Copies of this chain bind each other. A is one copy, B any other.
């Protein structure tokens, strides 16, 4: 690996001058600049961001920690932050925790050790361990502020849950179940909260046997649905914690020959890519995923740039009900 010293030696000047020339700083004659640039090109010089980072104290790199890269929800967010980052010359370190608290911890640690300039995190679980007390600027997605010290961006999950459930009620379904993901997921519980509110608003009983938590996986949705079907009084509609779960519910309902959407309705959450497939046409709650990612990055950059007088922000985005074919029209 060739360094600025090598190229300095080659053209017989000090490496300080080479550094200045390479960085387009003033105080170097145009002639020298040209010579340096040419030589650097010729020798195949690759700047060492490590060495630079050591002295400059920033790396132009941010970390993005997500739970599940195979759930299309997260890639959409990732695309948003990536695009925004690239636009101003930042790189993003994408970390996939696979819903595992330990992985998350380990990534957070590494990210800090690598001295990323900031971290955007969409935590898997609700409880934020002490590792979240980081010096590095941090933005939380779809999670409450960590001790009021971090800015957050979220969709109004409660409102989304309300919208979904209300739609089911208004569509005439009588026994609406909530099949959620992780019990300790903040967004999951907010959605459940919305579900309960809708039920209450329309004077329906909240039947705890109709509320089940599993994991944010299609398989979980299927399994839980199958169990519910064996109840003496099974649901005639399901509000699923997210689209991935909804997919499993759909699958199960189909396997058991339920007549959709007339006799059985399903609403998801996220409005993930596959939901709009003609074969699926899942009614769901949309959240502006790409935009959330973009905004999260912009908030992060702001924090990075104003490290001293940072202002804790909380952005809440409005969810939107997308009616498709897994619920009946009124």
Contacts and interface: CB of A to CB of B under 8 A. Distances in A.
Interface of A: 1, 46-51, 53-54, 59, 61, 69-70, 72, 75-76, 78-79, 82, 86, 91, 93-96, 98, 103, 106-107, 109-110, 112-115, 135, 247, 250-251, 254-255, 273-274, 277-280
A70 B71 CA distance: 10
Contact of A49 (B76, B107, B114): B114
Given A48-B113, A113-B48, A274-B274, A79 B75 contact: no
A47 B263 CA distance: 59
Contact of A69 (B1, B48, B75, B279): B75
B50 A54 contact: yes
A50 B86 CA distance: 22
Given A114-B61, A250-B279, A78 B82 contact: no
Nearest to A51: B54
Contacts of A51: 54
B110 A91 contact: yes
19 contacts: A46-B109, A46-B135, A47-B113, A48-B115, A49-B110, A49-B113, A49-B115, A50-B50, A50-B115, A69-B69, A70-B72, A75-B75, A78-B96, A91-B93, A93-B94, A94-B96, A250-B278, A274-B277, A277-B279
B50 A1 contact: no
Contacts of A135: 1, 46
A255 to B, nearest CB: 7
